Amino acid sequence: MTYASSPIPASPAVEKVFLKMLPITSAVFVGFLTIGLALPVLPLHLHYTLDMSPVVVGIAIGSQFAAALLSRAWAGGLADARGGKRAVILGLLSAALSGVAYLSSLAFIGMPRISVGALLLGRILLGCGESLVITGALGWGMGLVGLRNAGKVMAWVGMAMFGAYAAGAPLGTFIYGRYDFAGVAFATIIIPLLALGAVAPAAAVAVSTAKRVPFYKVLGTVWVPGLGVGLCCVGFGVVATFIALLFAAKNWGSASLAFTAFGVAFIVARLLFAHLPDRIGGARVALVCALIETAGLLLIWQADGVMMAYAGAAFTGFGYSLCFPGFGVEAVLRAPPQSRGAAMGAFMAFADMALGITGPAAGAIASAAGVNAVYLAGAGGVLLSTFVAFYLLANKPV
C-alpha cells in the first residue's frame, strides 16, 4: 500500500526551510564528527597496534552499522511516540558513552581480545547513537518543514553527516598523530556533548496521536527503495572500511584526504542538486547517481596513484550523495503518514544491513584477493541498485 501518487512539489521558501533545519543539521554535524574521527585511524589501531586481521577490522567497523540496524525499529518508534528531538538527545548521549568504551579499551592493550571487546562495545553504543540521531533528525525535520520538503530534509541532514566525515577524518588523523588513540577516545566523549548545545533550544514538534502502523507493515511499504539505498551503501562501506588499508598497502601515506574528497564531493552534489528528488522524482536521480558511484569505485580499483584514488573517492561520494534522498523520497511517498519516523527507521535499516554485511564480506575478499578487489566487488553491488531504480520508475506509488 502506498500513500502518494506523485513526487512531492518543492517549496519556494528555501530560506525558511534552511533556517528551521539549521539547529538540527548543526547537531548532526557536530555529533557525527565522532564517527568521522575514527574512520581513518580505528582500522590502523586494530591492525597495527592490536595485530588484528582484515576480517576482524571489518567486523569491528561493521558492528556499528549492525547495532544501528538492530536499533532502527526502536529509534523510529521512539521518534514517533516521544518526538524526534528526544531521540536526537538520547543518541548524542549514547555516542558520548562510546568514547568511554574506547578509552577503557586502552587499559587492555596487552590483552588484545579484551581490548577489541571494549572497542566493539564502543562501536555498538555509537551505532545506537547514530540510529537515534539520524532517525530522530529526519522525523523532526519533516515535522518542522513539511513533507513537500522531504528530499531537502534528507539532503541537508546527510550533508551535515558527511560534512562531519570529511572534517572528522583529517581531525582524527591529527589527534591520533599527536595523542594516539587516547586522544580520539577523549574527543569522542566531548564532541557529542557539545552538540547538545545546538539541540537544546530548538523547537520540538508535536507528536501525532493517530494510531501507528506496526513496524513490520511499515517495512513492507518501503522495502524496495530500502533495497536500492542498501546496495548504494556498499560503495560507502568499502571506502569507509578499507581505504586506509589500501593506502597503507600501496605506501601512499595517510588516507585522510580520500575521506575528505569523498565528503567534499558529497556536499557539493547536495548543495547543487538537493532539490532534484523533490522536483523530478527520486528514482530518476538515484539511477543516474548510482552509475556515477559505480564509476568512482572502478577508478579506485584501477588506481595507480593517489590522485586517481582521490578522484575515485570523489566520484563515489558525488554519486552516493543523492542516492539516499533519491530512494528516500520514494520511501516517503510509500509510507503511512502517521509513522514517518518508523518509515525512516525502516528505510535506514536497509542501509545499516548493507553496511554491516559489507565490512566482514569485504574483509574476506581482501584476505583472499587483495584490498583492490574490494572496490571491484563494491562497484558490482552499487550497479545492482540501478535495477531497483528502474523498477521504481516503472511502478509509481498509487
pLDDT at residue 230 in the model: 92
- Assess if residue 252 is contained within a domain: yes
| Contacting residues for 107 by C-beta, under 8 A, at least 6 apart | none
pLDDT at residue 13 in the model: 53
pLDDT at residue 215 in the model: 63
- Assess if residue 129 is contained within a domain: yes
pLDDT at residue 212 in the model: 61
pLDDT at residue 5 in the model: 39
From residue 362, alpha-carbon distances to 111, 238, 301 in Å are: 26, 7, 13
- Assess if residue 3 is contained within a domain: no
From residue 175, alpha-carbon distances to 30, 184, 286 in Å are: 16, 6, 36
Distance of CA 242 to the CA centre of its chain: 16
- Assess if residue 143 is contained within a domain: yes
- Assess if residue 339 is contained within a domain: yes
pLDDT at residue 14 in the model: 57
- Assess if residue 87 is contained within a domain: yes
Closest of 364, 102, 101, 62 to residue 240, by C-alpha: 62
CATH code for position 366 = 1.20.1250.20
Count up the domains in the chain and report the number.
Answer: 1
Which residues form the domain of 244?
A: 14-204+213-394
What pTM was estimated for this model as a whole?
0.69
| Contacting residues for 292 by C-beta, under 8 A, at least 6 apart | 315, 318, 319
pLDDT at residue 310 in the model: 93
Reading the chain (398 residues) residue by residue, the pLDDT tens digits are 444 433 444 444 555 777 778 888 888 888 788 877 887 788 888 888 888 887 888 888 778 877 877 887 788 778 777 788 888 899 999 999 999 999 999 989 888 889 999 999 999 999 899 888 888 888 888 778 777 777 778 888 877 877 787 788 788 889 988 998 999 999 999 999 888 877 877 767 766 655 666 666 777 778 899 999 999 999 988 888 888 888 888 888 878 788 888 888 988 888 888 888 878 888 999 999 999 999 999 999 998 889 999 999 999 999 998 998 899 888 877 877 666 667 777 787 788 788 778 888 888 888 888 888 899 999 999 999 999 999 999 887 76
- Assess if residue 8 is contained within a domain: no
- Assess if residue 9 is contained within a domain: no
Asked whether 155 and 32 are in contact (CB, 8 A), the reply is no
pLDDT at residue 210 in the model: 57
